[in-house]
Amino acid sequence: MTNVGRIMLAQLKSIGSRNACLAAGDVPGGPWLTRGGRTYRTGASGSTSEVVERARAARSVTSVRAYQEVGRADLFVQVIPFASEDDARAGLAELRALPRTMPRSKGLTDVGELRAAVAPEVAGTTRAEAAEQPFVLDGEHCRTLTLWCAAGSTVVVAALGGRAEAVRWPELARVVEAQLAALA
């Protein structure tokens, strides 16, 4: 079966309420609770780039899920199928370039700049980029770590935020690896 055939089959399975993101119990670490999720046609945000148009033509469905480990960390995972491996790598660059904002929260102060970081080793990926953003929440130094990973024709974006000493790159890499394994 070709990559496009696998994408089409995966999309048929994910149309409707099936979210391709991990169930909370399958996320490494934790225990994690699901705090919301949704699926939507890839490109619904209005992007008209060639890679997004090809993903839309292949009926790609993007999955998003948010998780929380109470008192410690928040996690966000997004799975975006593209039409080819080359499109996934180009799509990763497009996603990486999008502006990112910190959600408003009582007690949130001193939000630092998003800065590039050295991506940790993530098994099964063909391209990975990383960034870190510091902030202060209720007087505690915190940070958000973000990974953009391409594996085959899929891009997984994952962000882990919480107290600076509690969120680590290896933990986020394990989450992405688990997500990729679940997609295989």
Give this prediction's pTM.
0.84
Report the DSSP beta bridge partners of residue 68.
33, 74
Give me the amino acid identity at 5.
G
- Structural domain harbouring 103: 3-183
Query: What is the number of domains present in the chain?
Result: 1
Position 105 scores a pLDDT of 67
**What is the per-residue pLDDT for 2?**
42
CA–CA separation, 180 vs 184, rounded Å?
6
Measured between alpha carbons, how far is residue 184 from residues 25, 65, 77, 80, 174 in Å?
A: 18, 18, 16, 14, 15
Per-residue confidence (pLDDT) for residue 6, from 0 to 100: 40
Q: What is the mean pLDDT of each run of 10 residues along the chain (184 residues)?
A: 40 56 93 93 77 89 92 91 94 81 67 89 94 87 93 95 90 96 93
* CATH number of the domain residue 27 falls in: 3.40.1000
Q: How far, in Å, CA of 16 to CA of 38, rounded?
A: 10
Residues contacting residue 170 through CB under 8 Å, at least 6 positions apart? 120
* The pLDDT value given to residue 164: 84
CB 9 within 8 A of CB 61: no
